[in-house]
A = this chain, B = another copy of it.
Amino acid sequence: MPKQTFHNLPTEKREKIVNAAIEEFAENGLENASTNRIVANSGIAKGSFYQYFADKLDVFNHLMDVVTNEKTEFFKDKRPPNRNMDTFEYFRWMIKVGMEFNSAYPRMAQAASRVLFVEGLYYGKKFVEYHERAKEALAIMIKQAMKNREVDPSVDVELAVMIMETWSNAITTYIVTEGMKQKDIMKWVRSAKTQEKIDKMLYVMEYGLRKTESKFEKHF
């Protein structure tokens, strides 16, 4: 948690620091992020940094709070296009709004995905909470889908969660790395071609999970 001094700062200054941190983490990940560069790019003194934050990880955790809030705000006024969606349609819709968010705040998304999904794999216990929370939400979804008979009940939940998570991360990583090469990332994400690609990836996942004739059983 950032210290009180940080929260007392005028909004503009706070944002400048947060933006510098986002830029640094997006460009270098957590391990290789440099507090020296963060302070240089936010125009504050080294000493001040340590009056606001305990260390690098503290800034990063604050950043994740900012992302969470922005994302919640972003989702707030988005509504699924129709009420009678099945779980997969809903998942697809969620992924797409998520990608809209990522293209609206590409560096934020890049910093988060890079550190949580990529570096995080090898960090041990540092980010398990984020991970667990995401898995929890997916597990609820998949259980609902099973109740609705949209997913074969022979598919085990843990596995389905892993599959959905893998795809969600793969798509995010794709959008974030490919998107950064585009001159207008938002236009690129919204383009028919990119949307179709996302759709197709999700359909392949969906057909794999959906099949209702318990074909798995045959193989064991």
Contact = CB atoms under 8 A, between A and B. Distances in A.
Interface string A132-169: 00000000000000000000000110010011001100
Q: Can you tell how many copies of this chain the complex includes?
A: 2
A206 B211 CA distance: 11
B121 A197 contact: no
Interface of A is mostly: helix
Contact of A208 (B155, B159, B204): B204
A203 B208 contact: yes
Interface residues of A, number: 36
Contact of A173 (B121, B197, B199, B219): B121
Contacts of A18: none
A66 interface: no
A114 interface: yes
B166 A170 contact: yes
B219 A203 contact: yes
B203 A205 contact: no
Centre residue among A29, A121, A155, A220 by max chain B CB count within 10 A: A121
A215 interface: yes
Nearest to A199: B219
A216 B207 CA distance: 10
Contacts of A203: 208, 215-216, 219
B201 A122 contact: no
5 contacts: A118-B119, A155-B200, A166-B170, A203-B219, A206-B208
Interface of A: 29, 31-32, 114, 118-119, 121-122, 155-156, 159, 162-163, 166-167, 170, 173-174, 177, 196-197, 199-201, 203-209, 211, 215-216, 219-220
Given A118-B118, A163-B201, 7 more contacts: A31-B32, A32-B32, A114-B122, A118-B119, A159-B204, A166-B167, A199-B220
